[in-house]
Amino acid sequence: MTQPESSRIRIFDTTLRDGEQSPGVALDHSQKLEIAHQLARLGVDVIEAGFPIASPGDLEGVSRIAREVRGPIITGLARANRADIEAAARAVELAEKPRIHTFIATSPIHMSKKLNLEPDAVVERAIEAVRLARSFVDDVEFSAEDATRSDWAFLSRIFKAAVEAGASTINVPDTVGYTTPQEMRELFAFLKGELPAHVILSAHCHDDLGLAVANSIAAAEGGARQIECTINGIGERAGNASLEELVMAFHTRRDAYPFETEVRTRELYRASRMVSRLSGMPVQPNKAIVGDNAFAHESGIHQDGVIKARETYEIMNAELVGREAAVLVMGKHSGRAAFRKALTDLGYEVDEERVKSLFARFKDLADRKGQIFADDLRALVESRTDVPQTFVLEGFQITSGMNMTPVAFVRLSTPDGPVDATAHGDGPVEAAFQAISKITGLNPTLESYRIQAVTSGGDALGEVAIGARYGETTLHSTGVATDIVEASARAWIRVMNQIVAGMGKARTITATSI
């Protein structure tokens, strides 16, 4: 049954803006677009696609999402100045439902130390910013940076001025994760009484004290009807409120929280894996809802209870968040039609050309692994995004052992045909990287390297996630295979392909967190 409109919570996802400001995260256009399409499938109400003034690349990334993603509101962040707002307007102008999100700091320490402005001047700047944004779009959101350390009377004043100027959503950020649930609930109750009934109050909580989700729920209890959050809770410093935790708290404890969202919960796990893979930020095993251990039971007492009745130790089931408990088994005798159906059942929309490419890799994997399960197929599909394949791995061989210098032989398909190279290294992975660099003529700097198993068993698929720098460009890549050296080689080759395609990202401005 649908709850009354007053209990409907709008989910504002800022994974692509605040989440991308996590140290070490730099998404290229195709990666941001891939995540945006998944957020639309997930059913979020608003996608904050980026900070358009940050760089020409960020503006183009937001514009591409605005042009191609349908369903959610698409918004760009802008500081309270003309250049930022005009950039945001250009970025979202082709969106089905465009919004401009503008902000200015309101706490005494921010106004005096950062802005060097008197409160009256801050209010005037807010009014000018909202009016300018309103001249471009009908939907304007105004945020008071560091709201939870601001004077409540001043917040009421500036929010009323912003609404009068044309803002329809008012955001109250806990920018530094300082407040408590009781304080948050009381602040929102106060603001609800101060502002017109048509205004949507929004909460944006950071997790510096581990209270972002609790504070967001408290804000809803106080009157917030939009919550700003990120997939996996990624974001600056300790991160933001976790979207999946909020949504499932509302879903699971309807008796305590009379709120509902439009999020399709079965898409949560897929969204989590995608953001982790593309951002290079792993999800800790004990992470609520989407962590590897979230539905795992090792204790004998727990196992016995779950076998007898799942609800003894599980307050929600895995299928509800997209983690199929039913085993999907494929093998080397499975045909292309069965393979395509398996992908469709897992929620993937793949064109025929991609199916052909994936099916060849599936057959190769099945020959080596035997049975293929749902997580194997997910890893196979998600092991790359649509990067032009200038270089393709055709084969490799490693010679390595105790008291031996590792040697790698690598063969790549290139625009000039197959090319071989042999190289030494301190280890087999470095040797493979050196051989690939010889063939491609490119030598980026490896900045991070992470290995994790993405399926279970002795023949598990391993995923290698790497971060690399090429000049001023930051690139992230992953590779998946049963052999770690092969997975590493595939990830390194994808970096080369990104460089050739010009798909890296160099930032010139970093947005202020709200």
Residue 399 neighbours by CB distance under 10 Å: 14
Spell out the domains of the chain, with CATH numbers in brackets: 8-279 (3.20.20.70), 300-382 (no CATH), 392-501 (3.30.160.270)
Rounded mean pLDDT of the chain?
Answer: 88
Q: What is the pLDDT of residue 376?
A: 76
Q: What percent of the chain has pLDDT over 90?
A: 62
**Interval 284-306 mean pLDDT:** 69
Going by the DSSP 8-state scheme, the letter that residue 240 receives in this structure is B
Query: Do 201 and 224 contact (CB within 8 A), yes or no?
Result: yes
**Interval 52-67 mean pLDDT:** 94
Could you report the per-residue pLDDT of 423-448, keeping only the tens digit for each? 999 999 999 999 999 999 999 999 98
Local confidence band at 42 (pLDDT 50, 70, 90 cut-offs) = very high
Question: Is position 110 annotated in a ligand binding site?
Answer: no
Q: What is the pLDDT of residue 25?
A: 80
Local confidence band at 507 (pLDDT 50, 70, 90 cut-offs) = very low
Question: Is position 403 annotated in a ligand binding site?
Answer: no
Q: What is the pLDDT of residue 318?
A: 79
Which residue did the predictor score with more confidence, 279 or 150? 150
Q: What is the pLDDT of residue 335?
A: 80
Question: Is position 443 annotated in a ligand binding site?
Answer: no
Q: Is the pLDDT of residue 459 over 70?
A: no
Could you report the per-residue pLDDT of 380-421, keeping only the tens digit for each? 777 655 577 899 999 999 998 888 899 999 999 999 999 999
Between CA 333 and CA 74 the distance in angstroms is: 45
Q: Is the pLDDT of residue 326 over 50?
A: no
Question: Is position 29 annotated in a ligand binding site?
Answer: no
Q: DSSP 3-state helix, strand, coil percentages of the chain (rounded to 5)?
A: 45, 20, 35
Q: Is the pLDDT of residue 355 over 70?
A: yes
- pTM (2 d.p.): 0.78
Q: Token match 């085993």: residue?
A: 327
Instruction: Calculate helix-pair angle for 268-279, 243-252, nearest 10 degrees.
Output: 170
